[in-house]
């Protein structure tokens, strides 16, 4: 028997329940200042304080954050940038935009995040920077990677677009490397009501460079002091909304994590692989399981009105637009692409919905 109301993969209605988003918007409308004003400065202060880093510079979206972070770190056309190939092509988009080349590195079997040992071997290709993605909300082994990168003079860029608020030993995602990039796309753990992004860093030179690059490369109004600039600004309305939401981030992450814990317990005896950690180093941006024949499970859940997705179905080095780029062998990445399925896991997903999803998954294996 299938319920008519579909269970979505994310619900903005559920995520925003109980929030007053009108007051912050009114504040902006009554001030009549829409770009780079009070709300943006306050949010940058509040978010850098939350992360425990000295600087936050907001930009228009997460992909711009990656590109401007690379530029600010001095990455140029022709440089090599190490990254993973299983994180939705965002880092590749930024690398290609600069004219640099991605050096794809395989991921760890257990977490699907950048493998430190594969990174160590890849250092022979002399990358200028490495982008470490905390995929699905799971912190990568960023301390080990940062140690090797520092010794080799490689800049570490954390991609925190899926990991706002994840922590290890009290340190926040975004405070481990040289510069971190965030997206505030509506479905992210901290989401705006439109596009948004930011970089966070303790490096003042990088912060200043991104501040310049996000506004035409201006050193002062109408004076272009830096090449490679553009218009990439967070607007005041989005900043005001993000200020309203930030105090709820830890509560939402706890809610996501408690759903992940229930799934992990309920699926422990099934022939599938669950997320490794349900500790503070995983903020359950996406709850991703791995199994053979994932399409059959997806079909079963679809018939029961339960949404699923695949994050992500095509590895970066196999995207059709970039097939000509020499393709490395990435066995873990490629196997994971065929086996992963994302189940609904978001703040506001009800207990009954979680139970329904658990029952449906168990039924698929045990029927």
Ligand X SMILES: *Cc1c(COP(=O)(O)O)cnc(C)c1O
| Between 185 and 365, CB nearer to ligand X | 185
Pair 84, 328: CB distance under 8 Å: no
The answer for residues whose C-beta is within 8 angstroms of residue 141's C-beta and 6 or more apart is: 108, 111, 113, 114, 116
Task: Note whether 185 binds ligand X by CB under 6 A.
Answer: yes
Nearer CB in complex with ligand X: 44/159: 159
* Residue 162 contacts ligand X per CB under 6 A: yes
76-115: contacts with ligand X (CB under 6 A):
87-88, 90
How far apart, in whole angstroms, are the C-alpha atoms of residue 281 and residue 118? 22
DSSP character at residue 186: T
Applying CB under 6 A, does 282 fall inside the site for ligand X? no
CB 65, min distance to ligand X, A: 7
Residues in contact with 175: Cβ distance below 8 Å, sequence separation at least 6, in sequence order:
51, 52, 53, 200, 202
Give least dist CB 261 to ligand X, A.
Answer: 23
* 191 contributes a contact to ligand X by CB under 6 A: no
Binding residues for ligand X, rule CB under 6 A, total 14
Residues 114-143 interacting with ligand X (rule: CB under 6 A): 133
Q: How far is the CB of 63 from ligand X (least distance, A)?
A: 3
Q: Taking CB under 6 A as the rule, does residue 275 contact ligand X?
A: no
Bridge pairing between strands 80-84 and 101-105: parallel
Residue list 290-349, contact with ligand X (CB under 6 A): none
Cβ distance to ligand X smaller for residue 82 or 87? 87
DSSP for residue 321:
G
In the set 44, 106, 141, 159, which binds ligand X (CB under 6 A)? 159
Question: End-to-end distance of the chain based on CA atoms, in angstroms?
Answer: 15
Contact between 62 and ligand X per CB under 6 A: yes
Tell me 318's DSSP state: G
List of residues 6+ apart from 206 with CB closer than 8 A:
55, 69, 72, 73, 178, 179, 199
Question: Tokens 């310049």 correspond to what residue?
Answer: 212
Residue 116 vs 137, nearer CB to ligand X: 137
DSSP at 266: H
Taking the CA atoms of residue 338, residue 93, residue 326 and residue 126 in that order, the dihedral angle to the nearest 10 degrees is -110
Annotate each residue in 16-55 with x if it binds ligand X (CB under 6 A) or - if it does not, as one string: ----------------------------------------
Is 195 a binder of ligand X (CB under 6 A)?
yes
- In the complex with ligand X, the residue whose CB is nearer, 16 or 183, is 183
Only segment of 42-50, 60-68, 116-124, 224-232 that touches ligand X (CB under 6 A):
60-68
For the bound state, the minimum distance from the C-beta of residue 133 to ligand X, rounded and expressed in Å, comes to 5
For ligand X, the nearest residue by Cβ is 62
Distance CA 282, CA 258 (A): 11
With respect to ligand X, which residue has the nearer C-beta, 16 or 61?
61
List, in sequence order, every beta strand (DSSP E) within 144-295: 155-159, 167-168, 171-172, 179-183, 197-201, 218-220, 223-224, 287-290
Contact positions toward ligand X, by CB under 6 A? 61-63, 87-88, 90, 133, 159, 161-162, 183, 185, 195, 197
């Amino acid at each position: 028997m299938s319920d008519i109301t579909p269970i979505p993969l994310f619900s903005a209605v559920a995520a925003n329940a109980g929030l007053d988003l009108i007051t912050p918007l009114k504040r902006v409308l009554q001030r009549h200042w829409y770009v780079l004003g009070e709300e943006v400065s306050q949010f940058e202060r509040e978010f850098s304080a939350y992360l425990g880093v000295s600087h936050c510079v907001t930009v228009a979206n997460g992909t711009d954050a990656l590109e401007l972070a690379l530029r600010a770190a001095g990455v140029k056309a022709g440089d090599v940038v190490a990254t993973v190939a299983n994180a939705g092509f965002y880092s590749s988009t930024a690398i290609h935009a600069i004219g640099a080349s991605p050096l794809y590195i395989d991921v760890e079997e257990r977490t699907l995040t950048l493998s430190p040992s594969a990174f160590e071997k890849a250092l022979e290709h002399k990358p200028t920077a490495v982008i470490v993605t905390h995929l699905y909300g799971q912190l990568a082994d960023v301390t080990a990677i940062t140690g090797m990168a520092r010794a080799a003079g490689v800049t570490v860029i954390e991609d925190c677009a899926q990991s706002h608020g994840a922590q290890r030993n009290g340190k926040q995602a975004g405070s481990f490397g040289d510069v971190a990039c965030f997206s505030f796309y509506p479905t992210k753990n901290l989401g705006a009501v439109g596009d948004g992004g930011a970089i966070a860093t303790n490096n003042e030179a990088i912060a200043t460079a991104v501040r310049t690059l996000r506004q035409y490369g201006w050193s002062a109004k109408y004076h272009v002091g830096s090449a490679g600039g553009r218009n990439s600004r967070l607007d005041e309305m989005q900043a005001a909304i993000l200020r309203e939401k930030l105090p709820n981030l830890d509560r939402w992450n706890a809610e996501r994590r408690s759903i992940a814990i229930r799934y992990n317990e309920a699926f422990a005896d099934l022939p599938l692989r669950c997320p490794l950690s349900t500790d503070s180093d995983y903020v359950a941006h996406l709850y991703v399981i791995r199994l053979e024949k994932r399409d059959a499970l997806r079909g079963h859940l679809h018939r029961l009105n339960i949404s699923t997705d695949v994050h992500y179905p095509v590895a970066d080095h196999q995207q059709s637009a970039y097939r000509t780029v020499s393709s490395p062998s990435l066995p873990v990445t490629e196997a994971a692409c065929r086996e992963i399925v994302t189940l609904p896991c978001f703040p506001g997903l009800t207990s009954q919905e979680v139970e329904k999803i658990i029952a449906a998954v168990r039924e698929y294996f045990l029927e």
